Amino acid sequence: MHYHQEAAAESWGYYAAAPPAAGVRHGISMGGADPLERVVRLASGSAVVIFSMSTCCMCHAVKRLFCGMGVNPTVYELDQDPRGKEIERALIRLLGNSPPVPVVFIGGKLVGAMDRVMASHINGTLVPLLKEAGALWL
């Protein structure tokens, strides 16, 4: 699991997934961008991205689900991020859930909140998605 916080110079090099765009090098702290855009950008930055809050227990559950499957998700703790509030609002706009977290992106594509994640796991669609995104190797 990789936790991202406001860091001046984060190295994105070790992500095997989609090569980061130039503008992303500065991480979340880059200002002025539309929050939703930022969300999308962050989501594309890793194979599995989870927007979470450190105090949220359901987020803990979703993290454990992925770790239990052997996946290494990238986690953004919104309560530990100065711009976390904006992202929260963006997520609410996107999904309409309350609470807004956890939200999972796989391979840059939105999967959804906990119920969607579990439904897709039961469906058997989650694993192929993970494999496709390169987060899971057989």
Partner 1 sequence: MASQRVGEAGFSNSGPSHHHHHNTMPYAVFRGLNPPSTSFINQEGSAFDFGELEEAIVLQGVKINNDEAKTPLYAATVRPAATLEMFPSWPTRLIQTPRGSSKSGEESTDSGSAVNTLSSRAEARLEPESPISKKSSLEPQGLEQKHLQLPNQQQQLEMANDGSRVEMPQDHQPAGGKPTTEKRRGPGSTSEKVLDAKTLRRLAQNREAARKSRLRKKAYVQQLETSRIRLTQLEQDLQRARAQGFFLGGGGAPGGNISSGAAIFDMEYARWLDDDHRHMSELRTALQAHLSDGDLRVIVDGYIAHYDEIFRLKGVAAKSDVFHLITGMWTTPAERCFLWMGGFRPSELIKMLITQLDPLTEQQVVGIYGLQHSSQQAEEALSQGLEQLQQSLIETIAGGTVNDGMHHMAVALGKLTNLEGFVRQADNLRQQTLHHLLRILTVRQVARCFLVIGEYYGRLRALSSLWASRPRETMIGDENSCQTTTDLQMVQSSQNQFANF
85 is an interface residue for partner 1 by CB under 8 A = no
115 is an interface residue for partner 1 by CB under 8 A = yes
**Cβ-contact 136, 70 below 8 angstroms:** yes
33 is an interface residue for partner 1 by CB under 8 A = no
* d(C-alpha 12, C-alpha 58), whole Å: 28
**Cβ-contact 66, 108 below 8 angstroms:** no
Pick between residue 28 and residue 91 the one whose CB is nearest to partner 1: 91
Among 25, 64, 89, 109, binds partner 1 (CB under 8 A): 64
**In sequence order, what DSSP letters do the residues of 63-76 get, joined into one string?**
HHHHHHHT---EEE
Extract the runs of DSSP E, i.e. beta strands, from the chain: 2-4, 48-52, 74-77, 103-106, 109-112
Among 37, 55, 79, 93, binds partner 1 (CB under 8 A): 55
Pick between residue 11 and residue 123 the one whose CB is nearest to partner 1: 123
Q: Pick the stretch among 11-19, 22-30, 73-81, 115-123 that binds partner 1 (CB under 8 A).
A: 115-123
Least spacing, CB of residue 7 vs partner 1, in Å: 26
Going by their DSSP bridges, the two strands 103-106 and 48-52 should be labelled as antiparallel
34 is an interface residue for partner 1 by CB under 8 A = no
